[in-house]
Each structure stands twice: as C-alpha cells, then as structure tokens.
Amino acid sequence: MDEAVIYTILGEEGFTKMVAAFYKRVKTDELIGPMYPEEDFAGAEERLRDFLLFRFGNDPRYQAKRGHPRLRMRHAPFPIGDAEVKRWLELMDAAMEETNVPNAVQFDLRSFFTMVAHNMKNK
C-alpha cells in the first residue's frame, strides 16, 4: 500500500491515537519502559508521532524540530537486542489493535516497523 494512502486512511488523528496507545503500554513495560526518563514520555510520544506523520504524510514538523531522522544514531545510547525489538513490536501491534487500525494498514505498518526496529539493534 502506498504510504500516502496509509496517511489518508489514518490521518493525523489515527497516528496520534495509535502512538498514545503505544506509549501507554511502554510506561508500564518492564523491559522497554526503563529506557525512557519518566519526565520525557510526552516528548518521546510527540517525537514518534511527528516522525510517523513525516514518514507517511510528508508533514514538516519532525524535520523542522529535529532535522534528519538519524534514527540509528538517536537510538545508539539504548541497549537494543532481539528481546527489545520483539517487545517494541508487540506493544505497537497491541496499540494498532486497540485503535482499530485497519488490517491492510496494520500489515504495511508492521512491515515498516519491523524493518526499522531491526535496524536499531545494537547488541
């Protein structure tokens, strides 16, 4: 599915709800949660939402605030192995289910998230 179609289907509101549902889970997760400073959950949520809006909707906010995504560099300080990748993907799958992301969109987003998550591995 074309990325612009995904954005058209979900829109900013759909991405916002999905990312909020994801971070609701991250906050209580014993594996991934400790990677986030408690005072930065809102910032992390905003950054992921803005990144996804940039990636799928060509929204300029992320680049205006943060420049090039440089995801691997930004995630380098965090120990990310197979367990962390698996958990991140599980939490995102649950968030997509909770927010009723259509199955066809989930399939394509899951492919994207899987590729990106595996690229973040550093241990």
3-state secondary structure 11-61: HHHHHHHHHHHHHHHHHHCCCCHHHCCHHHHHHHHHHHHHHHHHHHHCCCH
The residue count of the chain comes to: 123
* Fold for the domain defined by 3-119: Globin-like (1.10.490)
Both tokens assigned to 51: 């990144």
What is the structure's pLDDT at 69? Answer: 60
106, exposed or middle or buried, with CB in 10 Å at 0-12, 13-18, 19+? middle
* pLDDT value of position 71: 61
Q: Of 97, 79, 88, which is closest to residue 116 (Cα–Cα)?
A: 88
What's the confidence (pLDDT) of residue 109?
97
pLDDT, averaged in runs of 10, over the chain (123 residues):
93 98 97 90 92 90 66 68 96 98 96 93 87
**Every domain of the chain and the residues it spans:** 3-119
